[in-house]
Amino acid sequence: MEIETQHGAPRQILCEPTPSAVTKSRGKAHPLWEEGRDPHARTTTHLEAQGQVPPAETQSSEAVRPLRKPTATHNRLSRTNTKAASEALNEPPAVTERKRKATQTEIQPSKPKVAPQISILSEAVRGKEGFHRLRTLVRSWRDRSTPLFEVNKDNKLAVQLVRVISFGEERSPLIEFLNRFAKVKLADVIDSGKAGRSSADPESLNELMDGLKWARTKRNRTRLHDYLKEGRRWRRLCGNFDGLLCLIPPNREDRGATQRISGRTYYELNQHDIQQLHSLLGPGRSMPLFQIGNTLQMSIWQNMEVPEFEWESEDPLELDRLSAKELAPFMKEFHLIEENEVARYEWPKPDCWPWEWPKSPSWVSPSDTRCNLCDEGDCSCIVSRLPQTRPRISNELGKGQGIRAVGIYKKGQILGELLGEFVPLDTFNDGWSIEFRRPDLGDEPVAQIYSKKMGNWVRKVNHSCDPSAKFKVMKISEMWRQMIVAVRDISHDEEVTAFCGTNFLRGQGKSCACSVCSR
């Protein structure tokens, strides 16, 4: 091979074959050992591994591979240059467009780890401690009889909410929850009138201070802004988890809880921590707690009676022994019914029953009158003759739950109907059944009404040896029904009681705790 030197004189250079061993060692030492080699092109060594070119040992040792002239403007990040270099070497691109897309799809960002303290905060509201906290709120609320969020012509909603926030000096769990709940609702009410503003309308705050009879001072305005700030922070913490506010512990640590966590810890969480907390509160065992919490909040907000829950019919000491998993069946509303249901049993025909069998024990013969309260054939006495406001469930010292009057009931007034399942006689003896005796059959028992699994408020009436009401089977609106009737005038908030018999108490393993027997 001849080349021309700088002085123009030709000079001959002999090209000696490169030993294959040297070629191999150089290829292993660095893939770009050849000067000017395209850095994106795949080396012969790589192709050998894939079987695209013969191994180095099988190639002729006399073959000399020409060097490609380096390109001064070569861009390492250019796909065009990579493709051109590959074509020059008769090789496929290092990474095809299709492979590049697949690679990018397969690489997913790893799920961020949740801080250990956030996991503890999550467990404290959705585990057993959250259930007991919610149970305490329900029990405490039943002890109250005065509506807190009652609005009339003299009290605007925002005015009443601020009064609730200021209510009482006692820092009980219920009062602390009501304080937070009222602040959240106050923020909702005020923020709904912002009309795109970033802060509350000053005029609406002035009207609020006037309604509260507060002076329009900077101090009072700051006080309202603090209420709004707290309400917005609690609202942000709860997010889309309705009912979560009921599960947040009070600001003072609960010494009886396993995790002694203050509610202030939740309040001070930043946005990132809140997002992590929400990620742990997804669908699962915590959802029944949120649903019950939301039911409690809506009942309080709408001045409605809190419905009965399954756990309220159980022994509190037994509930304390259960695990969170074992408590799950009790975390729901009690099955309320509006008519008695006939259980599916193989019923023997009662000895006193003169008609065809089987039939509902409440059935009225077509030849008989349809109602004892009116002469109409199709009436609504079962609704119209009952109090417009039904009695409420209450907590009674030493007796568990009971029923208290809402309003004044007169002697002889029908208060309600005992509802449950009709079951055969002698099926249950646990204190939740009562014999159904029809007057037209000589007061002989034809069935039991069992109200442990389903029923209404009447099942909560306590026994007393000096009762204010009694159970009486009456024919009303084309059915025989087990009614409860006042035997004397009953004043507002007085407990409604009835004589249930000794078998009732014996079935529950209790003794009489009425005022007569407790003397």
Within 10 A of 37 (CB to CB), how many other CB atoms are there? 17
Higher pLDDT, 431 or 424: 424
Res 265: pLDDT: 94
Question: Are both 355 and 493 inside the same structural domain?
Answer: yes
Domains in the chain, number:
3
Res 507: pLDDT: 57
The answer to whether residue 209 sits within a structural domain is yes
pLDDT at 238 over 80: yes
Res 512: pLDDT: 72
187-233, pLDDT tens digit by residue? 999 988 775 566 778 888 999 999 999 999 999 999 999 999 999 99
The answer to whether residue 101 sits within a structural domain is no
Question: Are both 389 and 414 inside the same structural domain?
Answer: yes
The answer to whether residue 111 sits within a structural domain is no
Residue-number span of the structural domain to which 28 is assigned: 11-95
Question: What pairs with residue 484 in β-bridges?
Answer: 416, 471
Question: Are both 171 and 152 inside the same structural domain?
Answer: yes
Higher pLDDT, 306 or 79: 306
Radius of gyration (C-alpha) of the chain in whole angstroms: 41
Question: Are both 167 and 35 inside the same structural domain?
Answer: no
Question: Are both 356 and 329 inside the same structural domain?
Answer: no
Q: Rounded distance, CA 135 to CA 95, Å?
A: 62
Distance of CA 449 to the CA centre of its chain: 34
The answer to whether residue 263 sits within a structural domain is yes
Task: Look up tokens 């009562």; give the residue.
Answer: 434
Burial class (CB in 10 A: 0-12, 13-18, 19+), 241: buried
Res 98: pLDDT: 54
Q: Rounded distance, CA 386 to CA 388, Å?
A: 6
Question: Are both 351 and 498 inside the same structural domain?
Answer: yes
Q: Which of the listed residues 310, 333, 356 is the one where a domain comes to its end?
A: 333
Question: Are both 286 and 349 inside the same structural domain?
Answer: no
Summary mean pLDDT of the chain: 79
Record the tokens describing residue 120, joined without a space.
Answer: 């503890």
Question: Are both 412 and 473 inside the same structural domain?
Answer: yes
- Long-range (24+ apart) CB contacts under 8 A made by 227-230 are 227/162, 227/165, 227/183, 227/186, 227/187, 228/183, 228/186, 228/187, 228/190, 228/191, 228/200, 230/180, 230/183, 230/267
**CATH number of the structural domain spanning residue 401:** 2.170.270.10
The answer to whether residue 1 sits within a structural domain is no
Can you state the angle between helices 173-191 and 218-238, rounded to 10 degrees? Answer: 100
pLDDT band at 326 (very low <50, low <70, confident <90, very high): very high
